[in-house]
A and B are shown apart, each in its own frame.
Chain A
Amino acid sequence: MAFNIVKEKYRNKISQVTIGATKEEGGTRTSTVTIGGEEALPFLHFEGNMPNRPVTALEVWDIEPPEWNECFKPYYGEVYSDVGEWARKCVEEYGAEMICLRLKGADPDEDNRSAEECEASVKQVLDSVGVPVIVLGCGKFEKDNEIFMKVAESGAGENLLMGVAEQENYKTLTAAALGYKHAIIAQSPIDINIAKQLNIMIGEMNFDTDRIVMDPTIAAVGYGIEYGYSIMQRARFGALGGDKAMAKPMIGNIGWEVWKTKEANAPESDFPDWGEQEPRGINWEIVTASSLICAGLDIAVLRHPKTLAVTKKLIDDIMVANSY
């Protein structure tokens, strides 16, 4: 009885996006990251090439994060006030492949930092680490539109990944990224139809849609991860079947979602049955990250250094070719 491996034939592949630029390429990065390019479902190496491995990023804030769990203090406490040192620690000590700088300080309800201050934070991170940098706004449309252009300008040549563009607010960021040659994150609210339409609208501004990274908005385990998971799968099936508008790599803010949950944060004294808080939170983040990586996530933005270590190991193992 001969055994035949069933192999699906796909018509299309995911676009490949490079983030960061070295000196020769007009930037100052010492390494770049390339994601995407998948020709088959995640890690089905026997069916098609998966030329680039998913990458991990650690989240860094431009202000001391007011609501982060106490368990992060031993890792980041001494660098909370210095965004450059914080980023350096993430890369040199904890092994982050990218830095995700969240300009939360610009939030009018936080420090209401000016565009110039945001620009300075970006510079600080760029000066202190050599890995590619993701820059996120504070999440308030009006304020983000003030800072996007400045950040794009001062990061010119660095080939940043900037975010986020949303259906109701994508033009300023797209124009800034177009003018200063950055890649962008297109974020949709767990809605595949909006995800597709947003990619099209960004393309209509003459932005090269092969420079888009999709953020389908994911949720943590126990809080609706299955919605994001199935949307990511559907997007991948569509993309591989020929849907160009869906054929983009994907990013997920794992740390951000996980460390909002009660299960990650609650002390053992409140819920003795749940066990110790910190390992519980780390596991919550690992399980969320690994699940979504199996659904096709290309960049996992994490928060806990121990999550990062385990996730990288997991990616190492699952990237081992399983061709027959």
Chain B
Amino acid sequence: MLVIGERINGMFKDIANAIKTGDPTAVQEWAKKQEANGAAWLDINCGPASDDPVSHMKWLVEVTQEVAKAPLALDSTNYDAIEAGLEICKQPALINSVPAEWPKMERVFEMAAKYEAGVVGLAMNEQGIPKDADSRVALAMELCAAADSYGVPMEDLYIDPLVLPCNVGQDHGPEALETIRQVKTLADPPPRTTVGLSNISQGTKKRELINRTFAVMGIAMGLDTAVADADDDELMEAIACARIIMNLDIYCDSFVEVYKDRW
């Protein structure tokens, strides 16, 4: 599994403040820090408080790209903001995200094809998040079909089964894991998979422990990526280790350092 570093997000005070004052220091520090710890993408999110997501997204993309080599994951429900970001991304980005709903899929997959971007497709629709794996997989199939009809390769589609906090939505955990496993059988080559990892531990005790345990279980089921805390060393170590056990990386004594040394 590769990590999409979650930290450049307007939900965090320092990033919100950076957006407000136009001082890129905090954004760039987090970009470098996440990259140094093995993030394969950097998530970019203006946060819910942004009053001008289009120009804020552009600014975040610009200042992040000044210091980072990693591709970006443009995280917004405002597709104009995403398109503004895609226009200036120096390398193919990820669009985060689209639910299995028309006409949102139409807009997003068209953009993805135009900018050669990847797409995070959420296994949900107007009716919300399904409870069981079968319904999630059905929505994932709709996303695959939509991607295919717009010429977006399956390897550029990242199905997110949607994880819920394990204290209040405990029965969703196994369903999400089962969805990951089944999504891998939907096409050949299969779509990729992703999750918003930190959701699993929202409002719980020992969040880091829960996050990394779920990450490892996800990897065993075929989880390819996750929006997660790249600054969490124990999480990165657990991922590096799970990749070794799943024979995804060639073992060597420095396997943790090799996993983090991406750039």
**How far apart are the CA atoms of A197 and B252 in the complex, in Å?**
5
- 26 interchain pairs, CB-CB under 8 A: A9-B155, A192-B250, A193-B251, A193-B253, A194-B252, A196-B250, A196-B251, A196-B252, A196-B258, A197-B252, A197-B253, A197-B254, A200-B252, A200-B254, A200-B257, A200-B258, A235-B250, A238-B249, A238-B250, A243-B249, A243-B250, A243-B258, A244-B261, A245-B250, A245-B252, A245-B258
Closest to A246 in B: B250
Interface residue tally for chain B (C-beta within 8 Å): 10
Query: Is B258 a contact partner of A193 (Cβ separation < 8 A)?
Result: no
Q: Which size bracket describes the interface of A in this complex?
A: 10 to 19
Where the two chains meet, the residues of A that have a C-beta atom closer than 8 Å to any C-beta of B are 9, 192-194, 196-197, 200, 234-235, 238, 243-246
Closest to A196 in B: B252
**How far apart are the CA atoms of A113 and B45 in the complex, in Å?**
67
Min C-beta distance of A303 to chain B, whole Å? 31
Min C-beta distance of B27 to chain A, whole Å? 27
Closest to B153 in A: A9
Q: Mark B228-263, 1 if CB is under 8 A from A, else 0.
A: 000000000000000000000111111001100100
**How far apart are the CA atoms of A292 and B140 in the complex, in Å?**
44
List of A residues within 8 angstroms of B254 by Cβ: 197, 200
**How far apart are the CA atoms of A244 and B67 in the complex, in Å?**
22
Closest to B253 in A: A197
Min C-beta distance of B152 to chain A, whole Å? 15
Main secondary structure of the interface of A (DSSP, over half): helix
List 5 additional contacts besides A193-B251, A200-B252; criterion CB under 8 Å.
Answer: A197-B253, A200-B254, A238-B249, A244-B261, A246-B250
Query: Is A193 a contact partner of B257 (Cβ separation < 8 A)?
Result: no
List of B residues within 8 angstroms of A243 by Cβ: 249-250, 258
Task: List the 4 shortest-distance A-B pairs measured between CB atoms, nearest first.
Answer: A196-B252, A197-B252, A238-B250, A197-B253
List of B residues within 8 angstroms of A193 by Cβ: 250-253
**How far apart are the CA atoms of A246 and B252 in the complex, in Å?**
11
List of B residues within 8 angstroms of A245 by Cβ: 250, 252, 258
List of B residues within 8 angstroms of A194 by Cβ: 252
List of A residues within 8 angstroms of B155 by Cβ: 9
The interface centre, meaning the residue of A192, A234, A245 with most chain B CB atoms within 10 A of its CB, is A245
Query: Is B257 a contact partner of A234 (Cβ separation < 8 A)?
Result: no
Min C-beta distance of A144 to chain B, whole Å? 24
Closest to A239 in B: B250
**How far apart are the CA atoms of A196 and B252 in the complex, in Å?**
6
**How far apart are the CA atoms of A224 and B254 in the complex, in Å?**
28
Min C-beta distance of B253 to chain A, whole Å? 5
List of A residues within 8 angstroms of B251 by Cβ: 193, 196
**How far apart are the CA atoms of A194 and B254 in the complex, in Å?**
10
**How far apart are the CA atoms of A276 and B7 in the complex, in Å?**
71
**How far apart are the CA atoms of A183 and B116 in the complex, in Å?**
39
**How far apart are the CA atoms of A49 and B253 in the complex, in Å?**
32
Min C-beta distance of A294 to chain B, whole Å? 21
Min C-beta distance of B247 to chain A, whole Å? 10
**How far apart are the CA atoms of A219 and B254 in the complex, in Å?**
27
List of A residues within 8 angstroms of B258 by Cβ: 196, 200, 243, 245
**How far apart are the CA atoms of A238 and B250 in the complex, in Å?**
7
List of A residues within 8 angstroms of B257 by Cβ: 200
**How far apart are the CA atoms of A234 and B249 in the complex, in Å?**
10
List of B residues within 8 angstroms of A238 by Cβ: 249-250
**How far apart are the CA atoms of A178 and B81 in the complex, in Å?**
49
**How far apart are the CA atoms of A192 and B155 in the complex, in Å?**
28
List of B residues within 8 angstroms of A234 by Cβ: 250
**How far apart are the CA atoms of A244 and B258 in the complex, in Å?**
9
Q: Mark B156-169, 1 if CB is under 8 A from A, else 0.
A: 00000000000000
**How far apart are the CA atoms of A9 and B156 in the complex, in Å?**
13
List of A residues within 8 angstroms of B252 by Cβ: 193-194, 196-197, 200, 245
Min C-beta distance of B118 to chain A, whole Å? 14
**How far apart are the CA atoms of A108 and B261 in the complex, in Å?**
42
Min C-beta distance of A14 to chain B, whole Å? 15
**How far apart are the CA atoms of A194 and B250 in the complex, in Å?**
10
**How far apart are the CA atoms of A192 and B252 in the complex, in Å?**
8
List of A residues within 8 angstroms of B261 by Cβ: 244
**How far apart are the CA atoms of A193 and B258 in the complex, in Å?**
12
Min C-beta distance of A238 to chain B, whole Å? 5
Min C-beta distance of A46 to chain B, whole Å? 18
**How far apart are the CA atoms of A244 and B38 in the complex, in Å?**
14
The interface centre, meaning the residue of B250, B254, B257 with most chain A CB atoms within 10 A of its CB, is B250
Closest to B250 in A: A238
Min C-beta distance of B63 to chain A, whole Å? 27
